[in-house]
Amino acid sequence: MNKLPVILIFLFLVSCKAHVEIKIPCHAWLGGPGQATDAELKAQFADLKIKGVDGLMYSAGRDPEVYKRVGKIAREAGLKFYTWIPTLTQNYNPDMKPEWYAVNGIGESAYDRPAYADHYHFICPNRQEIYDYLDELYGQIADIPEVDGIHLDFIRFPDVILARGLWKKYGLVMDREYPQFDYCYCDKCVSDFKAKTGIDIKAVQDPSQVEEWKQFRYDLITNLVNHLAETIHARNKEINAAVFPGPNSIARKIVRQEWDKWNIDAFYPMNYNDFYLEGTKWIGDMCREGVTALNNRKPLYSGLFICPDPGKRASEPDPENHGLLPEELEAAIRESMENGAKGICLFTPERMTGDHWVVFKKAIHMSYARK
């Protein structure tokens, strides 16, 4: 038999393989649409797709019609479309009742006395009314054909300890848990915990030392997430979430997220290194911790916080305006991928400068070996 054709076919296949494009999955958190027309959205999404973005976590309020319209355009541009709607922070709206809001350790409600910031109107995750409200909110959006899935955010308690890089901004030293930032001490949470453990948490001198009380609250978040996962999966849609880094080193400790127990389809840890006064190597450490905790059960996308004005970062006092410089972006992507991330997620494409995009384009087409 003449072996030449076989050899030629083999060489052809080898050359095809060499030309398979390497591309890491890239998602992005994005808000909109404001006053943008369909044509403007189409151009915006086409531009993001060309730059290497594969999917959006899209924030556009609560109106299903808006998600239907924007989702159609995003999917026509070849983007995955996940709706990004906060879960446990709810601004005043007619559906909300004051008694549904979370209460801190000194009896103040997040309804009228939110901690830290005006938007910190956290609701209690331990109420049937909240389950019903969120089922309806997310259920009707998951029913939209143009929506690939639901992206949860603020699916947590308020920060009982703020990230180290934010202490100066809020004029706080958070060397331990303080009761004014510790939630939820509403009547239902206190009585449910008493019924479960026999402990009256309001009579305890230092609740931060009661391990059962911590676990009770991790479980409140986990139970709610897993319930919502059933709601969304029953509609054959995906559900994923923005989470704090960890889970064990940070997320559990400061916002009571034990997210390795959540039955969702993908995890987006906000590995915002500047908030923790850390560098790019830390981003890799956080990815490794996350994928290890998940035991590679589900994909993890490394959330990267981009500096919108690199020239001013050094003189900028507000950490919200810090973030990765163009010259740090390649290392941030490399650290994420070498430590097990499935891909990355940008906060946000609108913060990316031209220099960022140049680095990004190169970095997302490189091959990374798992450490």
Residue 172 tokens read as: 């706080």
The burial class, CB within 10 Å (0-12 / 13-18 / 19+), for 234 is exposed
Cβ distance to Zn ion smaller for residue 55 or 105: 105
The residues that bridge with 65 in the sheet, in sequence order, are: none
126 binds Zn ion (CB under 5 A): yes
Residue 125 CB, nearest approach to Zn ion (Å): 7
Residue 17 CB, nearest approach to Zn ion (Å): 56
Task: Output Rg (C-alpha) for the chain, integer angstroms.
Answer: 22
Residue 158 tokens read as: 């308020």
Residue 30 tokens read as: 């994005």
Q: Which residues contact 97 (CB under 8 A, 6 or more apart)?
A: 129
Stretch of 124-132, 135-143, 161-169, 275-283 lying at the interface with Zn ion (CB under 5 A): 124-132
Residue 95 CB, nearest approach to Zn ion (Å): 18
Residue 208 CB, nearest approach to Zn ion (Å): 17
Cβ distance to Zn ion smaller for residue 124 or 224: 124
If you ran DSSP here, which 8-state letter would residue 189 be given?
H
Residue with tokens 């038999």: 1
Stretch of 56-64, 70-78, 142-150, 176-184 lying at the interface with Zn ion (CB under 5 A): 176-184
Stretch of 122-130, 146-154, 256-264, 285-293 lying at the interface with Zn ion (CB under 5 A): 122-130
Which amino acid, one-letter code, is at 262?
W
Residue 207 CB, nearest approach to Zn ion (Å): 14
What x-and-dash track marks residues 185-224 binding Zn ion by CB under 5 A? Answer: -x--x-----------------------------------
Cβ distance to Zn ion smaller for residue 126 or 348: 126
CB 53 within 8 A of CB 79: yes
Residue 15 tokens read as: 């050359």
Interface pick for Zn ion out of 60, 124, 142, 294 (rule CB under 5 A): 124
Residue 223 CB, nearest approach to Zn ion (Å): 13
Through-space distance between the first and last CA atoms of the chain, rounded to whole angstroms: 45
Cβ distance to Zn ion smaller for residue 201 or 300: 201
Q: Using CB under 5 A, which residues numbered 12 to 41 contact Zn ion?
A: none
Residue 135 CB, nearest approach to Zn ion (Å): 18
Residue 225 CB, nearest approach to Zn ion (Å): 16
Stretch of 5-13, 49-57, 183-191, 305-313 lying at the interface with Zn ion (CB under 5 A): 183-191
- Shortest CA distance to 290 belongs to which of 331, 224, 244, 323? 244
Interface pick for Zn ion out of 115, 184, 345, 363 (rule CB under 5 A): 184
Alpha carbon 305 to chain centroid distance? 12
Give how far Cα 20 sits from Cα of 25, 52, 341, 358, 365, Å.
15, 16, 21, 21, 11
Q: Which residues bind Zn ion (CB under 5 A)?
A: 124, 126, 184, 186, 189
